Amino acid sequence: MSDILLIGSCEPFSGKSALVLGIAKKLLQNKKKVRIGKPLATCIELTNLPAMSYEGLIDDDVKFIGSTLNIEEEDLISSVGLLDNISAEKRISNKDLLPGKGFDQIKELANDDFKGLNILEAAGSLYEGMIYGLSLPQLAESLNAKVLIVNLWEDCKSVDALLDAKKQLGEHFAGVVLNAVLPSEVEKVNKEIIPCLKDMNIEVFGVMPKSPLLRSVTVGELVRRLDAQVICCPEKDQLLVETLSIGAMGVNSAMEFFRRRRNMAVVTGADRTDIQLAALEASTQCLILTGLGEPLSQLIHRAEELEVPILKVELDTLSSVEIIEQAFGHVRIHESIKASYAVQLVQEHVNLKRILEKIDFPCNFSEKC
């Protein structure tokens, strides 16, 4: 027999992969074996699988975590379905809501002689994956596994989602990790909110502060989302953007504003050379030019000197800003610097020892971890 831990969330991009990284890393450091997987793949480059055959399909998040932690390929658990429009339409048309024969391989994880922990990441919410028979409550019931919920914390209204998760998961509900808590609110949550949740039979295993780094987006991702033309420094597509600034004010005001920001993407009109040059002298990761006109050669030359990419988009400034804002906090952890920080965040703020005790998995961690 081997143990299974399901990690789920009430909404997408809540921090599940960060938690998988942190838990798996700690287990490996303590000479424990780990297998990881996502029964329902939600992140995959192969969006068109001809025969809808998912045999051997490994989710991109699983691949990244596996390579980051040097987990053997045989310990990366294949998905049995892919969350995409094509397969969803096919299932609805065929009135087929069962997980399929591939799910038997997932169920066998609990019955083999693997002397380690199987960590399975569920889809984005409690209901996502129902048409595949692979929603979080369905997985918990089929696998008879405990579920750890990671939940974005905004304010006390966030408890609604936790109460709903507890009700839906029943005896499979292990507890929660609260994520993206404002640093100024962490102490209050620990001292005032957690005791109240405990009285509601909701155990909180950790409170992770909000991280601009983990919410950041690469320049390359912005290029893709904006369908932008890269004017210079295309090799800098892995630079991380943490904040967004709009260069629509006077240059003196802009310079003062830019000095207070870090790792910016600056969106401004293609004709605002003064703003563009001011932005290059601040903590700017990329310039995004909108509207008519082309950047001056002196601007391009200076950007190349400072290794700051310039992007040109066909969209107006408002539309560009909306797209960029939607990207923050809604991208996956596929960069090594994010992965390292996620591991650090989990191991510093989450009681991994208590989580493993909850699922009766033997460990010899310190009291904190």
Contact 142, 35 (CB under 8 A): no
Give residue-wise pLDDT tens across range 160-211. Answer: 999 999 999 999 999 999 999 999 999 999 999 999 999 999 999 999 999 9
Q: Does 217-330 carry CATH code 3.40.50.1970? A: no
Instruction: Return the CATH class of domain 3-211+334-359.
Output: alpha beta
Distance separating alpha carbons of residues 117 and 113, to the nearest angstrom: 11
| Residue 91 or residue 207, greater confidence | 207
Res 248: pLDDT: 65
Asked whether this chain's domains 3-211+334-359 and 217-330 adopt the same fold, the reply is: no
b/e 265-278 (16+ beta carbons within 10 angstroms → b): bbbbbbbbbebbbb
Give residue-wise pLDDT tens across range 141-150. Answer: 999 999 999 9
Q: Among candidates 121, 65, 117, 73, which has minimal Cα distance to 340?
A: 65
Contact 289, 247 (CB under 8 A): no
Distance separating alpha carbons of residues 249 and 272, to the nearest angstrom: 10
Share of the chain above pLDDT 90, in %: 72
Report in angstroms the alpha-carbon separations of 2 from 27, 41, 157, 185, 365: 15, 22, 37, 38, 19
Would the pLDDT of 364 be above 80?
A: no
Res 309: pLDDT: 97
Res 1: pLDDT: 64
Give residue-wise pLDDT tens across range 50-72. Answer: 444 566 789 999 999 999 999 99
Tell me which residue has tokens 């429009």: 85
Contact 8, 147 (CB under 8 A): yes
The mean pLDDT of the chain is 90
Res 330: pLDDT: 87
Q: Could you state, in order of their start, the residue ranges of all structural domains in the chain? A: 3-211+334-359, 217-330
Report the amino acid identity of residue 111: N
Would the pLDDT of 136 be above 90?
A: yes
Helical ranges in the chain per DSSP H: 16-29, 60-68, 85-93, 103-107, 136-143, 159-169, 186-188, 194-199, 212-215, 219-226, 251-259, 273-280, 297-306, 317-327, 336-349, 352-358
Confidence grade of residue 312 (pLDDT, cut at 50, 70, 90): very high
Please compute the mean of the pLDDT values over residues 89-115 and round it to a whole number.
85
Tokens describing residue 45: 């480059």
Supply the pTM of this predicted model: 0.88
